[in-house]
A and B are shown apart, each in its own frame.
Chain A
Amino acid sequence: MATLDSKIPEGQLAEKWSNFIAHQNLVNPANKRKIEVIVVGTGLAGAAAAASLGEMGFKVKNFCIQDSPRRAHSIAAQGGINAAKNYPNDGDSIYRLFYDTIKGGDYRSREANVYRLAQVSNNIIDQCVAQGVPFAREYGGLLTNRSFGGALVSRTFYARGQTGQQLLLGAYGALSKEIHRGHVKMYNRREMLDLVVVDGRARGIITRNTITGEIERHSAHAVILATGGYGNVFFLSTNAMNSNGSAAWQAYKKGAAFANPCFVQIHPTCIPVHGDFQSKLTLMSESLRNDGRIWVPKKKEDAQKIQRGELKPTDIPEEDRDYYLERRYPAFGNLVPRDVASRAAKERCDAGYGVGNTGLAVYLDFKEAIGRLGRDVIEARYGNLFQMYEKIVDENPYETPMMIYPAIHYTMGGLWVDYELQTTIPGLFAAGEANFSDHGANRLGASALMQGLADGYFVIPYTVQNYLADQITVPFIKTDLPEFDEAEKGAKNKLNKLLSIKGSKTVDHFHKALGHIMWDNVGMARNKEGLEKAIKEIRSLREEFWKDVDVPGGLTGVNVELEKATRVADFLELGELMAIDALHREESSGGHFREEYQTPEGEALRNDKDFMYVAAWEYQGDDKEPLLNKEPLHYEEIEVKTRNYKDAKS
Chain B
Amino acid sequence: MNLTLKIWRQENPEAKGRFEKYEISEISPDSSFLEMMDLLNEQLIKEGKDPVAYDHDCREGICGMCSLYINGRPHGPDSAVTTCQLHMRKFKDGETVTIEPWRAKPFPVLKDLIVDRSALDEIIQVGGYISVNTGGVPDANDIPIAKEKADLAMDAAACIGCGACVAACKNASAMLFVSAKVSQFALLPQGKTEAKDRVKAMVAKMDELGFGNCTNTYACEAECPKEIKVTNIARMNRQFFGAKVSG
Contacts and interface: CB of A to CB of B under 8 A. Distances in A.
Interface of A: 48, 51-52, 55, 66-73, 75-76, 85, 87, 123, 125-132, 134-143, 159-160, 162, 164-166, 169, 172-174, 176-177, 179-180, 186, 188, 211, 238, 240-242, 274-275, 277-280, 282-283, 387-388, 391-392, 394, 457-458, 461, 506, 508, 550, 552-553, 557-558, 560-561
Contacts of B129: 131-132, 173-174, 176-177
Nearest to B89: A394
B189 to A, nearest CB: 9
Contact of A127 (B62, B116, B135): B135
B34 to A, nearest CB: 7
Interface stretch (B45-53, B93-101, B164-172, B206-214): B45-53
Contact of B111 (A159, A160, A558): A558
Contacts of A143: 140-141
Contacts of B132: 127, 130-131, 174
- Chain B contact residues: helix, strand, loop or mixed: loop
Nearest to B56: A241
B217 interface: no
Contacts of A165: 62, 158, 160
Contacts of B151: 134
B17 to A, nearest CB: 14
A402 to B, nearest CB: 15
A508 B38 contact: yes
B134 A48 contact: yes
Contact of B145 (A137, A387, A458, A508): A137
A125 B140 contact: yes
B138 A126 contact: yes
Contact of B128 (A72, A176, A275, A387): A176
B58 interface: yes
Nearest to A49: B134
Contacts of A140: 144
A138 B144 CA distance: 10
Given A165-B160, A560-B53, A130 B138 contact: yes
A388 B61 contact: yes
B121 A68 contact: yes
A132 B147 contact: no
A162 B80 CA distance: 16
Given A123-B135, A279-B59, 12 more contacts: A68-B64, A76-B60, A135-B150, A137-B150, A138-B147, A142-B141, A166-B154, A176-B121, A211-B110, A241-B57, A457-B135, A458-B134
B220 interface: no
A180 B161 contact: no
A387 B78 CA distance: 13
B231 interface: no
B157 interface: yes
B137 interface: yes
A392 B117 CA distance: 27
B57 A73 contact: yes
Interface of B: 11-12, 28, 30-32, 34-35, 38-39, 42, 45-46, 48, 50-51, 53, 55-65, 78, 80-81, 85, 87, 89, 110-112, 114, 116-118, 120-121, 124-126, 128-135, 137-141, 143-147, 150-151, 153-154, 157-158, 160-161, 184-185, 188, 190-191
A71 B85 contact: no
A132 B137 contact: no
Contacts of A131: 129-130, 132, 190
Contact of A126 (B51, B121, B139, B158): B139
Contact of A162 (B35, B45, B62): B62
Contacts of B57: 66, 71, 73, 240-242
Nearest to A124: B140
A392 B133 CA distance: 40
Given A48-B134, A66-B57, A70-B64, A391 B191 contact: no
A441 to B, nearest CB: 27
A353 to B, nearest CB: 24
B161 A68 contact: yes
B135 to A, nearest CB: 7
29 contacts: A71-B64, A75-B58, A76-B62, A131-B129, A131-B130, A132-B185, A134-B153, A134-B188, A137-B147, A141-B150, A142-B144, A143-B141, A172-B124, A174-B129, A176-B124, A177-B131, A186-B121, A211-B114, A238-B60, A241-B57, A241-B58, A241-B59, A275-B28, A279-B34, A280-B60, A387-B80, A553-B50, A557-B12, A558-B114
Contacts, number: 217
B137 A240 contact: no
A132 B189 CA distance: 9
B135 A391 contact: no
B185 A561 contact: no
A51 B129 CA distance: 12
Nearest to A243: B57
A131 B135 CA distance: 11
Contacts of A557: 11-12, 111
B65 A66 contact: yes
A165 B58 CA distance: 12
Contacts of A275: 28, 30-31
Nearest to B26: A277
A279 B35 contact: yes
Q: Which of A162, A391, A557 has the most CB of B within 10 A?
A: A391
B124 to A, nearest CB: 5
Contacts of B147: 137-139, 141
B137 to A, nearest CB: 4
A129 B65 contact: no
B63 A71 contact: yes
Contact of A506 (B42, B131, B141): B42
B51 A560 contact: yes
Contacts of A240: 57-59, 63
A172 B30 CA distance: 35
A291 B128 CA distance: 36
Contacts of A387: 80
Contacts of A173: 124, 128-130
Contact of B63 (A73, A139, A166, A550): A73
A140 B144 CA distance: 8
Nearest to A394: B89
Contacts of A241: 56-59
A133 B117 CA distance: 24
B32 A279 contact: yes
A129 B153 CA distance: 12
A552 B51 CA distance: 9
A21 B46 CA distance: 58
A234 to B, nearest CB: 15
A557 B59 CA distance: 24
B78 A391 contact: yes
A227 to B, nearest CB: 14
Contacts of B118: 67-68, 188
A132 B184 contact: yes
Given A176-B124, A557-B12, A134 B55 contact: no
A5 B12 CA distance: 50
A176 B58 contact: no
B53 to A, nearest CB: 5
Contacts of B139: 126
A66 B118 CA distance: 11
Contacts of A508: 38, 42
A134 B157 CA distance: 8
Nearest to A164: B62
Nearest to B201: A180
A160 B62 CA distance: 13
Nearest to A553: B50
A132 B191 CA distance: 7
A394 B147 CA distance: 33
B13 to A, nearest CB: 9
Given A176-B129, A279-B35, A132 B63 contact: no
